[in-house]
Structure 1
Amino acid sequence: MPAAASSALHARVREHRREFVDRLAEWVRIPSIAGDPGYAAALPQSANHLAGLCRAVGFPRVEVWEQGDTSAVFAEWCADAAAPTVLVYSHHDVRAVIGEPWRETEPFTPVERDGCLFGRGASDAKGQVIAHLWGLRALLAGGGRTPPVTLKLLVDGEEELGSPNLADLLDAHAADLGCDLIVYSDTTLLDPGRPAVTTTVRGMIGAELTVHGPAHDVHSGAVSGPSPNPILDLATLLSELHDEEGRVALPGFYDAVTTPTPKEREDYAALEVDERWWLAESDTGRVTGERGYTVPELLWARPAVEVISISGGDLEALPRAVIPASAGAALSIRIVEGQTPEEVAAQLERWVAEESAARGIRAEVSISRKTAEAPYRTPEHPAVEALAEAMRIGFAVDAVGRMGNAGGGPAELLARTLDAPLVFFGTGLIGDRWHGSDERVRIEVLEQGAATLAAFWPRLADAMPKGQRGA
């Protein structure tokens, strides 16, 4: 794009900055917390609010669809029949706000400060949806009555729960959702100063490990010593999940793992991620994990098992000095290309059975197979370079690298069900504090994302002529 045209595009995006930041703040005020019955009414409110935003931008067709106990939003804007059809996926539900206190503002009282908008969902992922609407408004302001591609939006209402009803939704609305390409917008950037196209996402499996002790809670003074303690037994099992080299101890866990590939190692090294920078951005204190891999390789190309909660004993009530009857831990397993949720689930089940039997521990594991997510890799496709070129314009840089996404999501489900290739573009940053206190979004990054998307759609139309759609 000539410099004058790029400058004009950025000017149109900036022109709408106040409008879309205000719309995002209004949306953040709606506490669309997934899975909390106390906020059940907020989810359809959030969906209807988004539907109104889509209509205001110009989408001729906007619908709110039932999705289990919540609501998803669908919007469609048709272009010329020869243009490719693109489905944009994101979500409007948000995580709960338990745990750490919020210091910048209350979770659903958005505040704009120091170039950021604070509030739950500001980045994950309402901000990412707003970037799409903002970019589309800026593109159309430059001329043209319709987008250069047929655009469809599908904004999930239960992604934070693992999208348990998304597969049914895709089947029920298959005729509406057909597309040539999927753009998945629930991801992070490494750094806006060194943007990179995400080409892979890890899969995820959730599991609950439960260890049993006495038949019921027993006074510790009466049985302490000879009685099994399920909290200690749980700690023993968890301590055996990794070996001294930081590798996951499940037999067969790495048999199918081939990442990072030599090309990925080269791409990740080119991003020049310094460990000190990473620790400052992530607030994680120190680098751990599997030996012999860099931080980007550990994040994007190696599997991992995390313990995300432990429960046992008197957590909230007054202490009773008892050995509890049971203790539990929630596990989050991140898997990579070559691994499947089914195989890893079976490996975990065998490991728990064998380890507990060897130690005389009574343990069981429950795996959330319905919400398990497979890893996904974007295939070779002209959309990747079109997106990279759009990011060069949007972020005003000379080069755009390649990266992965450390989290999970239904990318593989979408691509497989809709039989379309999928590319990733998101505006989140590790410093946006997803799922934690004082979640925020950098408004400048949303603006750069909107400019990227405004530049992407015409380039995609050129890169995917009718004869190459779905290539």
Structure 2
Amino acid sequence: MSEVMVEPEALAAWVAIPSVSAGPAGPPSVRRSARWLARAMLRLGCSHAEVWETEGLPAVYGCRPAADPGAPVLLVYSHHDVHAAHPPEWRVTRPFSPVLRDGRLYGRGASDAKGQLLCHLWSLRAHLAERGGAGPAVTVKYLVEGEEEIGSVHLADLLARHSDELAADVVMVSDTMIWSLDHAAVCTSVRGSVTAGLTVRGADRDVHSGAASGASANAAVELCRLLAGLHDGAGRITLPGFYDAVAEPPAAVRESLATLPFDARTWLDETGTFAAGGEAGFGVPERLWTRPSAEVARLAAGPAGGPALGLLPAVARADLLLRLVPDQRADRVAEQLRRWLAGRRREGYAYDIDVSPTTSDPYRTPAGHPALDALFRAVGRAYGSPARPVGNGGAAPAAQLARACDAPVLFFGTGLPGDRWHGPDENVRIEALRLGARALTGFLGELPRCVRSGGGG
């Protein structure tokens, strides 16, 4: 396999566009990012690229048809919007002033997910060069949305409105992590997600502690009681029926996890956490990829900023994030969360649970699918060792894409635990991009040998 050229300078130019989808300052920059990507698609091999507007922020669509009309159609999904950044927390560089240092490119979105998407475009260019002007061996389409970091609020509309353009035989989600550059791996599943706001009210207004301390309802204390009961003593989630649909991972995944090189100290250093916790009886990789989780993402009570002024807060709120595994369903877990709260209400408080409509179901790539086998072979050749199956701890709209396209979903990512997604000094290893683009180039050549078009073209 010939070497694939990657362009860190091009990635840096894209990272410099602050395409933050959350907040009022985002739309102009997200649109600028979309236009940049459409031009890059045309430069790197697409015959067609355009910006698709939504009622919110724009997506980008690109396509390069295969020379053979009977060739399979691959749809690549990713996103070009990025998570918000807090500049004072960044040390190596400012979030949108990318810098290359010691083989890493630093900047918001370098790994999540602009670098990952450029790997696909670099691989298309390399694949076309290998074909010597014959055109690609597979029709490649790209759907890159601009609202993933705010819940993909208009993705369903895009999929419905552009169903003909997005028809495909295989879908690939490129917004995932790998374990290590030293061990070839293919992600075969992603967790789903349910987010919700839990609000407790104990009074009409904040109350002075001198008038009520020790005798009145305290919303913050009550909220803490509820959150403390979200897990039992073994770290298991207490929602009624929560584990009834938790499926055991395939034997190949269990075997892979059993032999996966895992060093706790390295993982703690890369993630910046102080200790590894969670459900008893499972190791860290198992907890990340094969077990569900429930987290508190944010807490708020009392006046923001300044001294507390001796007030007892009338209202307290927590933002919850639940990660789901096959065969759980987001709508059922949302109902379990409501029943959990209903069974824990106490007199003297008002409660509300607001479940976000932008939930996602977990997804597992069908075992033994020819396209999955092709991806394993391509990754193994690129890394120089057989690829092992792993999972992804985060969520992706894989189940939604599978339903909309009526096609299996594969996963390919270049993110690493130390890339600091959503955190300060986000970065990507250039070597990860090089290996990723090399693997994808091989996959484009491998796919037509094992999958024929079912009408996606």
The one-letter code sitting in structure 1 at the alignment partner of 2:115 is G
Match for 1:374 among 341, 358, 361?
361
**1-structure distance, mates of 2:259, 2:71:** 35
Counterpart of 1:77 in structure 2 is: 64
**2-structure distance, mates of 1:411, 1:92:** 17
CA contact (8 A) 1:197 1:425 kept: yes
Counterpart of 1:57 in structure 2 is: 44
**Correspondence 1:30-429 to 2 at 5 A:** 30-79=17-66, 80-98=68-86, 101-145=89-133, 146-357=135-346, 360-368=348-356, 370-379=357-366, 380-395=368-383, 397-429=384-416
The one-letter code sitting in structure 1 at the alignment partner of 2:180 is D
Task: Return 128-137 or 176-185, whichever deviates more.
Answer: 128-137
The one-letter code sitting in structure 1 at the alignment partner of 2:319 is A
Q: Is 1:27 matched with 2:14?
A: yes
**2-structure distance, mates of 1:361, 1:338:** 35
- For 1:285-330, what per-residue CA distance to the aligned partner results, in whole angstroms no more than 9, with x for missing partners? 2111111112111111111000010011122245332112201000
**1-structure distance, mates of 2:256, 2:107:** 34
The one-letter code sitting in structure 2 at the alignment partner of 1:62 is A
Matched residue SS, 1:58: coil
**2-structure distance, mates of 1:97, 1:44:** 18
Bigger share in helix: 1
Q: Is 1:448 matched with 2:435?
A: yes
In the TM superposition, residue 158 of structure 1 has moved relative to its aligned partner by 0.4
RMSD (Å), alpha carbons = 1.5
CA contact (8 A) 1:78 1:149 kept: yes
The one-letter code sitting in structure 1 at the alignment partner of 2:405 is L
The one-letter code sitting in structure 1 at the alignment partner of 2:139 is T
**1-structure distance, mates of 2:56, 2:272:** 35
Q: CA 1:100 to 1:247, structure 2 compared with 1: closer, same or farther past 3 Å?
A: farther
CA contact (8 A) 2:419 2:427 kept: yes
Task: Return 278-287 or 444-453, whichever deviates more.
Answer: 278-287
In the TM superposition, residue 261 of structure 1 has moved relative to its aligned partner by 4.2
The one-letter code sitting in structure 1 at the alignment partner of 2:102 is D
Gaps of 5+ in 1: 1-5
**2-structure distance, mates of 1:410, 1:279:** 28
**2-structure distance, mates of 1:100, 1:428:** 24
**2-structure distance, mates of 1:260, 1:151:** 31
In the TM superposition, residue 409 of structure 1 has moved relative to its aligned partner by 1.2
> Could you state the TM-score of these two structures normalised by the residue count of structure 2?
0.96
**1-structure distance, mates of 2:288, 2:25:** 35
CA contact (8 A) 2:217 2:348 kept: no
**2-structure distance, mates of 1:416, 1:121:** 28
**1-structure distance, mates of 2:49, 2:152:** 21
Task: Return 92-101 or 231-240, whichever deviates more.
Answer: 92-101
The one-letter code sitting in structure 2 at the alignment partner of 1:41 is P
In the TM superposition, residue 60 of structure 1 has moved relative to its aligned partner by 1.1
**2-structure distance, mates of 1:304, 1:143:** 46
The one-letter code sitting in structure 1 at the alignment partner of 2:62 is A
Q: CA 1:100 to 1:205, structure 2 compared with 1: closer, same or farther past 3 Å?
A: farther
In the TM superposition, residue 465 of structure 1 has moved relative to its aligned partner by 3.3
In the TM superposition, residue 52 of structure 1 has moved relative to its aligned partner by 0.6
**1-structure distance, mates of 2:88, 2:176:** 24
Matched residue SS, 2:100: strand
CA contact (8 A) 1:202 1:407 kept: yes
The one-letter code sitting in structure 1 at the alignment partner of 2:265 is R
In the TM superposition, residue 99 of structure 1 has moved relative to its aligned partner by 7.9
Q: CA 1:56 to 1:412, structure 2 compared with 1: closer, same or farther past 3 Å?
A: same
In the TM superposition, residue 277 of structure 1 has moved relative to its aligned partner by 3.2
- For 1:81-123, what per-residue CA distance to the aligned partner results, in whole angstroms no more than 9, with x for missing partners? 0110000000000001138610000000000001000000000
**2-structure distance, mates of 1:450, 1:338:** 32
CA contact (8 A) 1:260 1:302 kept: no
CA contact (8 A) 1:257 1:336 kept: yes
Identity value in percent: 47
The one-letter code sitting in structure 1 at the alignment partner of 2:47 is P
> Could you state the TM-score of these two structures normalised by the residue count of structure 1?
0.93
CA contact (8 A) 1:62 1:74 kept: yes
The one-letter code sitting in structure 2 at the alignment partner of 1:44 is R
- For 1:378-407, what per-residue CA distance to the aligned partner results, in whole angstroms no more than 9, with x for missing partners? 013111121111112222x22110001110
Gaps of 5+ in 2: none
